[in-house]
Amino acid sequence: MPFIEFLFKPKNELEKGGRQSAQIATADENEPSKPCPNCRKMVPLSQLWANHNTCECGYHFRMNVRQRINFICDQDSFQEWDRDMVSKDILDFPGYKTKLENTRNACSENEAVICGRAKIGGQDCCLFIMEPYFMMGSMGTVVGEKITRTFERATELGLPVVGYTVSGGARMQEGILSLMQMAKTSGAVKKHSDAGLFYLTVLTDPTTGGVTASFAMEGDIILSEPGALIGFAGPRVIEQTVRKKLPSGFQRAEFVLEHGFIDAIVPRSTQKETIAKLLKIHCGGEDNG
Amino acid sequence: MAKSTAVTAYDKVKLARQNGRPTGVEYIDHMFQDFIELHGDRRYADDKAIVGGIAYLAGRPVTVIAIEKGRNSKERMAHNFGAPHPEGYRKALRLMKQAEKFKRPVICFVDTSGAYCGIGAEERGEGQAIAENIVEMMSLKTPTISILIGEGGSGGALALAVADRVWMLENAVYSVISPEGCASILWKDASKADEAAESLKLTAADALSMGIIEQMIPENELGKDVFYEKLGAMLSRELRQLEELNESDLLSRRFARFRSLGVPGREER
């Protein structure tokens, strides 16, 4: 990683709250813009939205779950499931109740994953999309349950599953029950797989911890966005453990591809058509042009 | 602060980590006969943090796998303090698939602060190795019992604990993150580890009440012959019961066991 990029690398992404507000694009010269952490240019927001939240230099900004749905699903095709399922402070964990309330208000989502069914390029599928602005997509019991149900419904419906992951890992505030979600979701993935159905994961920045060590890595095909951090342990923990500087590009999608753990890196510019093609080849029968 | 006689959660964490506590190989030595250690994942290396092989348990052939921390500093270095690399989990999986083929039950002893956090471990897919173990253990067509004997550190422990029965020693702990890690992330203060340990509900009694484990093993005779004898007898008894189930019942019950954990609305206080 170039030094300058390192400087601008977010230090701790696990607990970032809030969400980017959707700004309306204007032709105004003084229109709002934001700096690209990669090329350091100011990117006008209108240009950002036109390019699915990416910079000209190829840098992929984070997307919230609603932007993601608009970007990937055919218009008005998304039907949401279990929207009202909310986490409770099951362990009476200090500060968790307040944190949940604040996060719900700040990000206007009920939980860190949104599930449902949709069409992508005309292909029917079930979908789960994790929300980076909800406790950095951390996996507690509700996230585990919603994803498990998505696989169970997909199995009943005979549909493929497309899953977008972004997560700091299992949610500490729900303790060991969060860890158990790794086993629960994996069991549901396995049943879906045994039914001969297709599961595609798209790993986005960052995908780490218990999510990497369960359903993120269990796809029949695993795609990633460029530059996404993908790993089990976070880079800071590793740096503290091995007491040396990590090699440049360590745990980035390109590194993970090189080491053989993902199938392809697909930028947003071709993501939707790639996913539609993959769905079609697995479910759509012959290619009729 | 008045220290009551009651052992706090963080005291349990310290007990679970204490040097001198029996490690995985001691269970293998005391409870099983004719143990033959089998090495390597056939892909990259032999990870000494995980010891596995075949043996007899009271006359029954079994596959036994243990995460080994080592009993003295030399052993601890050799076993990487019980922090497995991906090749360790892949060795364990190889032995489990072998057990499935030859219809042997699998017994796992879990004792780890967590999967190793290192460069090589990431390069070789620690997350992928754990994920694969979880999926494969969920569908392994032979009875499986995992016993947490010390530390049950997060995904690194779960990778050997997706079993038909999960038991814990009285002073073992099972947690999604170390109390120190939790305190430093949430409160930027690792010294609040005792508070974190309390909040994480990581003791065997907590796990039992939440349905994470089926049995809590008393420790008053820990390390003595009679302790191993009793535990061995418990294992034999449980295996006899599990062996009565047909394959599809065994697998559907195993999935149902994990499926029921953390269903919203169920653990409400």
The CATH number linked to B114 is 3.90.226.10
Q: What is the ipTM of this complex?
A: 0.95
- CB atoms near residue A239 (< 10 Å): 16
The residue written with tokens 């500093």 in the block is B73
Residue B116 lies in a domain: yes
Task: Give dist(CA B184, CA B155) in Å, integer.
Answer: 19
Task: Give dist(CA B269, CA B267) in Å, integer.
Answer: 6
CA distance A259 to chain B (A): 6
Query: What is the distance, to the nearest Å, from the Cα of residue B194 to the centroid of all Cα atoms in its chain?
Result: 23
* CB contact at 8 A, B260 and B211: yes
* Of the candidates A252, A253, A247, the residue with the CA atom closest to the CA atom of residue A224: A253
- The partner residue sitting opposite A186, judged by closest CB among B124, B126, B131, is B131
Q: What was the pLDDT predicted at A286?
A: 63
User: Which domain range does residue B134 map to?
Assistant: 10-175+201-236+245-250
Residue B144 lies in a domain: yes
Which tens digits make up the pLDDT trace of A57-87?
999 999 999 999 999 999 999 999 999 999 9
> In the A/B pair of chains, how many CB contacts fall below 8 A?
185
Residue B196 lies in a domain: no
Task: Give dist(CA B202, CA A261) in Å, integer.
Answer: 32
Task: Give dist(CA B157, CA B77) in Å, integer.
Answer: 19
* Residues of chain A neighbouring B177 (CB-CB closer than 8 A): 170, 172
- What's the pLDDT band for A19 if we cut at 50, 70, 90? very low
Residue B205 lies in a domain: yes
The structural domains of chain A, with segments of one domain joined by +, span 62-283
Which tens digits make up the pLDDT trace of B139-193?
999 999 999 999 999 999 999 999 999 999 999 999 999 999 999 999 998 889 9
* Residues of chain B neighbouring A170 (CB-CB closer than 8 A): 154-155, 176-177
Q: What was the pLDDT predicted at B268?
A: 42
Number of structural domains chain B divides into: 1
Task: Give dist(CA B201, CA B198) in Å, integer.
Answer: 6
List CB contacts of A266: < 8 A, sequence separation 6 or more.
Answer: A202, A223, A224, A225, A274
* Beta strand extents in chain A (DSSP E only): 33-35, 42-44, 79-81, 113-120, 123-130, 161-167, 199-207, 221-224, 264-265
CB atoms A217 and B154 under 8 Å: no
Q: What was the pLDDT predicted at A287?
A: 60
Residue B258 lies in a domain: no
Quote helix, strand, coil % in chain B, to nearest 5: 45, 20, 35
Please provide the average confidence, as pLDDT, over all residues in chain B.
95
* Of the candidates B143, B135, B133, the residue with the CA atom closest to the CA atom of residue B103: B143
Q: Which CATH number fits domain A62-283: 3.40.640.10, 3.40.50.1000, 3.90.226.10, 3.40.50.2000?
A: 3.90.226.10
Residue B122 lies in a domain: yes
CB atoms A176 and B174 under 8 Å: yes
- CB atoms near residue B6 (< 10 Å): 6
Residue B119 lies in a domain: yes
Angle (nearest 5°) at CA A183 between A179 and A188: 135
The stretches in chain B having pLDDT less than 50 are: 1-3, 266-269
Residue B184 lies in a domain: no
